[in-house]
Structure 1
């Protein structure tokens, strides 16, 4: 029986392990920490439970397809609810407004803010939907081992539209069509989900607006940890042996092929296949010591970092929706502060707040609210560490105080600071230390032009047969759905399948 070892117990690692085990391989998964999930982590204290990473459930058809590969469905594994509103927006200097997943209502909202914007939105979303379907059918599930996808008639017909969408920025694309800054922000903010800025992310990613404005935003009751639990369950029931607290220090290889892994405790585990679901730089600079042909691209661009606040708050907070976005007036300056070198955390900052307890009372004690706050920041571990109850580095805690004050003022919650009973901060140094992410980035490699589609780092490693890569750093990219797709791409490659499409559903099930 072919033996495979997966390094890393995040979403991509667990998803890959389950698929390979379903294909009949003998699979071990080694996770350095005692907790599975990677960036999709969980933290609990005093009856509060927080997701510490992804909190938007988008692209439901990707989750459904993945589960069906293993003979189950999303409905069987998760308890999904649709959010209404999808999210609330506080744009500096303006009254808040809600985005609902209803084209007619959204069109009316856009038209009320800018005459003519309703019709423009229809055209924009039709184009976004077309781009999304094209990506889903022809690009996202492709390892780009061959040029077959580029010869497909539908792709060839769309090349005149695809090329300009790759060569200009999302901000430029949006700002040619809409003038009200609030509408621009609604259409440009998804760039943050891609680890970048609307002023650098290619316009092709307008497809993200199809997801929240047309497709809808779901939430799995119990939080995103239920996705991790489902993947763990699917893996273990198919025979995957999961080793927690098992730190892989070296990928062993001989004569251009992997032979297994060496652990921190000195043990060697042999395997014919090794799948790395770790940070790309950690793989190349630490785990692959001695591999002469390992890639060492120096021009990679990491995603932004993040300052995270996990706040347990006494009482209800009706001013916030499940998802709430705060946008600064000087939009460009906000992103320049984060992405330039040296960068700094803007003040005030564009930020995101998740009040999951609005939808899911089980994540907070009765009569309380749990808040997850994400503030994009420079990817710089020297900015410091976070901590519990104000024990993080002084500059991190001061920044958190300013963020709490901003939310309090903008969202009209005057006593917010006084009502906080649980507080934890997480900063770039925590990402670098705990998750071994390059420069403390929060999401993976950013989706710049040189790191998108066929230009993104591949799922194989040149010169080391049997070694594969999955996760947010490699194709197809950042986000939970992309990690599931990445797992499928690697499974296809191990099968010897270089085709660009999805695997037939149920074929992996046992």
Structure 2
């Protein structure tokens, strides 16, 4: 009889682990507390508009392709991709913007037009970023974070300076124009920390940005989730929604199953893709690995104030992805990391998938997704949400030279309290734990419990870190550990890791 494994949560990491483990011979069930799958990558629909509720950037397409290839499939078997051109627009002021194209030659020209001589510097910078990317993908991110020796390779030993310098410092050595600096610092924000606190090795995100491009799955990021669900079901995975796990049961130091909707379900093993901190609260205190003081000291990625907005007209002077960098980034960053508070004048991001994907909004309408990064754990009230929407929509009108407020059909918001309620997210963080030097690889919370046998973890608070591609990898890593430790057929997992 096949070993029974229960996975808590149905986000990218959970579905990834479910697919690998089912392929390796496990009897796999997924328990999702909400009424739809996807975790933070759920989809929201209203009045003919479709919104991805969380992740909206499709970067590192090779990681997605590799995931489906591991099962003899291709991404195109499940969803259709379009490479965006331009990839995104950065707005610095009214009539002052830079668009990032879909290939390196165009981007070099863009940089040169802004700062003479910067194209040659960018070529050198991207060459290093590409080198970092290849090392990261080939040598590092598919390691399970068990030992510091995982980081010791011939490639990393000769590049130690890239781990002990920070990316902001490296960028500012070469580039003087503040607009170009902001564009180059932007990609590492996906890792959850300030550029000044992120090792320069993570410039591989710049190669992911400029070198590999920005893509859009037709129908939205949820189509990736749907593809993973279809794959999982084809492998025999059972997925249960509205399944709220309230306790992880342990006997004699070994996980025996879970209580879900007040009913005990036995399992040979349990993997949690839910919030790591929350998962440990489902255990009796003596079985928890990390104290409250441990979590308090960690650097968490931001939370977010999100708005899903339906407009009854097509909007001008916008692209699919838009970054509004018209205010002081350093001041906003201080309010996130140094003095947790609501920022006075926040930077914000907006995407309009209906610019690329007409089916995500009714004809001659536009769907708008607005995001303000915030410190986790701060006060969240309807009044503050309204105040900050007014701030950004007023600036949006000025910066894009159009009136839009009278064209809003509906507006829904999502913030700290919702992240806590829907995802049991620690302090309402949106992206997990930041990838700082002291929170990288083996220094992150472990994939395998140190106190409970047959209990495992996956997702953005563990290895390799925040983001959608790392979550896919995290699911593969934990599945590899399970399969190798319990002597099942691990070849399908480990041979591609």
TM range (shorter): over 0.9
Partner of 1:277: 273
- Among 454, 463, 483, the residue aligned to 1:466: 454
Contact 1:12 1:486 in 2 (8 A): yes
Whole-angstrom distance in 2 between the partners of 1:329 and 1:432: 29
Task: Determine if contact 1:10/1:40 at 8 Å carries over to the other structure.
Answer: yes
* Cα distance in 1 between the residues matched to 2:56 and 2:89: 15
**Aligned twin of 2:385:** 396
- Residue aligned with 1:78, SS: coil
Moved more, 485-494 or 332-341: 332-341
What is aligned with 2:114?
113
> Which residue of structure 2 lines up, in the alignment, with residue 17 of structure 1?
18
Aligned pair partner of 1:306 in 290, 304, 307: 304
Q: Determine the C-alpha separation between the residues in 1 that align with 2:450 and 2:339.
A: 32
* 1:63-110 Cα shifts (integer Å, max 9, x gaps): 111111122111111111110000111013661121012222211111
Provide the rounded CA distance (Å) in 2 between the counterparts of 1:271 and 1:368: 49
Do residues 92 (structure 1) and 93 (structure 2) align?
yes
Q: Which residue of 2 aligns with 1:360?
A: 357
Change (3 A) 1:420 1:150: closer
Cα offset for 1:113? 1.1
Q: Identify the residue that residue 65 of structure 1 maps to in structure 2.
A: 66
TM-score by length of 2: 0.94
Q: 2: CA distance between counterparts of 1:346 and 1:36?
A: 36
Would you say 1:32 and 2:29 are equivalent positions?
Answer: no
SS in structure 1 opposite 2:471?
helix
Whether 1:292 aligns to 2:280 is no
- Alpha-carbon distance in structure 2 between the residues aligned to 1:150 and 1:309: 40
Q: 1-side partners of 2:33 and 2:378: how far apart? A: 20
Distance in 1, Cα, partners of 2:255 & 2:155: 41
CA shift digits 1:4-43 (9 cap, x unpaired): 0000111211221122111111111111111111111111
**Deviation at residue 341 of structure 1 after TM alignment:** 2.5
What does 1:206-285 align with in structure 2 at a 5 Å threshold?
206-263=203-260, 265-284=261-280
Displacement of 1:276 in angstroms is 0.3
Please state how far the C-alpha of 1:149 moved relative to its aligned partner. Answer: 3.5
Aligned with 1:382: secondary structure?
coil
Q: Show the counterpart of 1:158.
A: 156
With over 3 angstroms needed to count, the CA separation of the structure-2 counterparts of 1:92 and 1:205, relative to structure 1, is farther
Higher mean alpha-carbon deviation, 311-320 vs 47-56, is at 311-320
Q: Where does residue 388 of structure 1 map in the other structure? A: none
- SS of the residue corresponding to residue 40 of structure 2 reads coil
1:282 CA drift (Å): 0.2
Q: Give the structure 2 partner of residue 387 of structure 1.
A: none
Question: Counterpart of 2:366?
Answer: 369
Q: Shift of residue 449 of structure 1?
A: 1.4
Change in CA separation of 1:246 and 1:144 when aligned onto 2, cut-off 3 Å: same
The whole-number CA distance in structure 2 between the counterparts of 1:429 and 1:293 is: 25
| In the alignment, structure 1 residue 457 sits paired with structure 2 residue 455 | no
Corresponding residue of 1:389: none
Aligned-pair Cα RMSD in Å:
1.9
Cα distance in structure 2, aligned partners of 1:23 and 1:190: 35
Q: Deviations over 1:233-263 (max 9, x none)?
A: 1111221111111111111112221111112
Match among 393, 410, 430 for residue 442 of structure 1: 430
Runs of 4+ in 1 over 3 A off after TM superposition: 146-151, 290-293, 502-508
Instruction: Kindly tell me the number of residue pairs found equivalent between the two proteins.
Output: 489
Cα distance in 2 for residues equivalent to 1:383 and 1:149: 41
CA distance in 2, matches of 1:203, 1:506: 29
Structure 2: which 5+ runs fail to align? none
1:169 to 166, 169, 175: 166
Structure 1 residue 75 corresponds to structure 2 residue 76: yes
What is the distance in 2 between the residues matched to 1:417 and 1:14?
Answer: 39
The alpha-carbon deviation at position 189 of structure 1 amounts to 0.9
1:376: Cα distance to partner?
0.6
Could you tell me how far apart the structure 2 residues matched to 1:335 and 1:145 are? 32
